[in-house]
A and B are shown apart, each in its own frame.
Chain A
């Protein structure tokens, strides 16, 4: 980039655009893997435009939580409602929710046999039934938004980790979802590439997208989050605005966690 400080280096919190409308609601949600309880009575309301960062030690259930929201995992107890649709065994509901919720994975999971452009145009063409040229135009739009239009005809294997993750973000955005979920998006990246992905995510936040991000990047949380949620052992232990969360942690476990990562 140029001499200007990058988006993530600039000071100041990203403007909040939280509305009062609840877009995702979890009520008393529990999830078991066999005998092991991964989620224990989770209550959570996410408002449109809200940016939530979820953090916690490994095994605390943060990934499980967001994977339940787009039904990559099935919850056993409680209710999950996304954009007014209840998540249960009704497959039509599940498909509807998935088209409204985009997901970015820790290991990118790009399709290695398709070009970058084809990766992004796949869903618009086959799921939203757009014509191929329309779908590709849409995909290019989003590739432009993540600043890598020149890689459109390359294969994922030819890109760096940071570029691949940005393509993954574009691929999820091409569905034009209402909510974006991020499952530790920078954990698999080399340090010098983390910044480019975080920059993209901050730009996304500035455009008003509702985001749930599981991450350890506390700098990002401080800049972007409307709310930080700390989870441990399947429960929400503490949640607060970033200022209060970092400077004034209430719970002992939160304090322990913060002392380990800051």
Chain B
């Protein structure tokens, strides 16, 4: 039995190879060329990076010493990973040295917040996502920057925490114990005093009151202040692209709606805005921001690089999002708009209840594609002098002990980007396939 199985695998492989790789003269030659190429490249990289890699060394010279020379006196080539190990923290966090746990906590919180979006059967996913976009930035800002809380922040930070705890208890309880916190709260508690139509407002008021109470109780506790200029490395990349998408998507929706408007003034303004910023490179917008924002603001308005760059990136991102949203809206058949207005829904109601929910599902693959582009484009802030991951990579090559070494840090950065972008693009391709069959 086993013999038959193994021989059939061998037979099948041989047949597959014959059909796919060696079916003709040209194919055979191409296949051989490819195999040779792949072998050389892969083996070369493998032996340089893994086999001959040096993981512990004081500086570059020591790396070379450890690698030594081969029989012919030619220096052996190997990766000097020691430098990357020393610089790894810088590459990831920039100059944010104290309290890196705050950064990690912040991203863990985001992940926990977003998990329910992937769990099937969770209700009110839209509200969870909206909370992530609308509330999380405040919590993140306080976690990363710390310092004294203004009135506004004293309210928003507890509100966000309460929202997160509420959401998580709700969906976990629902999935695991079949008891939904939201439903219990609403129907067992609120319903006794307040009629159904006002439940939503009551719940919102409840949250607000709780936030104020909690905010007052924790008024003595706070986190140390960290200057925003310390944000750097991969952390900075994530912050900038995070802002880019959380502001870019809503702004893009508004711009797209404006572009589709029948009112000529609004349409002209939005079209001009979108086309102007889409036809110029991002770097010119960044230069414009750093050169001209100080001129635009009134005297005494403090601006640092981060507050100049982030609006520029959001501006840029919203114009590209607007185009994605516009094509999504165009895909919705006119009959949907007509049916919505024929049952009495107004413009904003039709958009919010009928058109947008359908269009957003279409748009998600393109939105993810846009985000991947934005994620890669954040490296441009290196050119205007911010300490993002690319700047850290270059800084390592200029650092005295590791001077001149560039393959290793570049490879690390490339791998980091590749893993993130490739995962996201695979995910969006999967989404596209899943959604493509739904609207036949």
Contacts and interface: CB of A to CB of B under 8 A. Distances in A.
A151 interface: no
B318 to A, nearest CB: 25
B354 A172 contact: no
Interface stretch (A6-14, A120-128, A209-217): A120-128
Interface string B172-215: 00000000000000000000000111000000000000000000
Contacts of B358: 111-113
A102 B342 contact: yes
Interface stretch (A129-137, A239-247, A249-257): A129-137
A63 to B, nearest CB: 12
B195 A109 contact: no
A131 B336 contact: no
Contacts of B353: 122, 126
- Chain B interface residue number, banded: 20 to 34
Contacts of B27: none
Interface residues of A, number: 29
Given A111-B354, A126-B345, A131 B339 contact: no
Contacts of A98: 341-344
A127 B344 contact: yes
Interface in B324-342: 333, 335-336, 338-342
Given A112-B439, A131-B196, A70 B342 contact: yes
A126 B197 CA distance: 11
B203 to A, nearest CB: 14
A129 B195 CA distance: 13
A122 B349 CA distance: 10
B335 A95 contact: no
A72 B338 CA distance: 7
Given A129-B197, A133-B196, A111 B336 contact: yes
B373 interface: no
Interface string A162-175: 00000010011011
A175 B344 contact: yes
Contacts, number: 65
B346 interface: yes
A103 interface: yes
B195 A123 contact: no
Chain B interface, >50% SS class: helix
A109 B196 CA distance: 30
A60 interface: no
Given A105-B339, A107-B335, A95 B344 contact: yes
A115 interface: no
B68 interface: no
Given A131-B196, A131-B197, A133-B196, A113 B341 contact: no
A132 B196 contact: yes
A113 B340 CA distance: 13
A99 interface: yes
B361 interface: yes
Given A122-B343, A131-B197, A109 B338 contact: yes
Interface in B410-440: 438-439
A105 B339 CA distance: 8
B131 to A, nearest CB: 21
Given A113-B361, A133-B196, 19 more contacts: A70-B342, A72-B338, A95-B346, A98-B341, A98-B342, A102-B342, A109-B338, A109-B339, A111-B339, A111-B358, A122-B353, A123-B344, A123-B345, A126-B345, A127-B344, A131-B195, A131-B197, A171-B343, A174-B343
29 contacts: A72-B341, A95-B344, A95-B346, A99-B344, A102-B342, A103-B342, A105-B339, A107-B335, A109-B333, A109-B338, A109-B339, A111-B336, A111-B339, A111-B354, A112-B358, A112-B439, A113-B357, A122-B345, A123-B343, A126-B349, A127-B343, A127-B344, A131-B197, A132-B196, A157-B438, A168-B339, A172-B342, A172-B343, A174-B343
Interface of B: 195-197, 333, 335-336, 338-346, 349, 353-354, 357-358, 361, 438-439
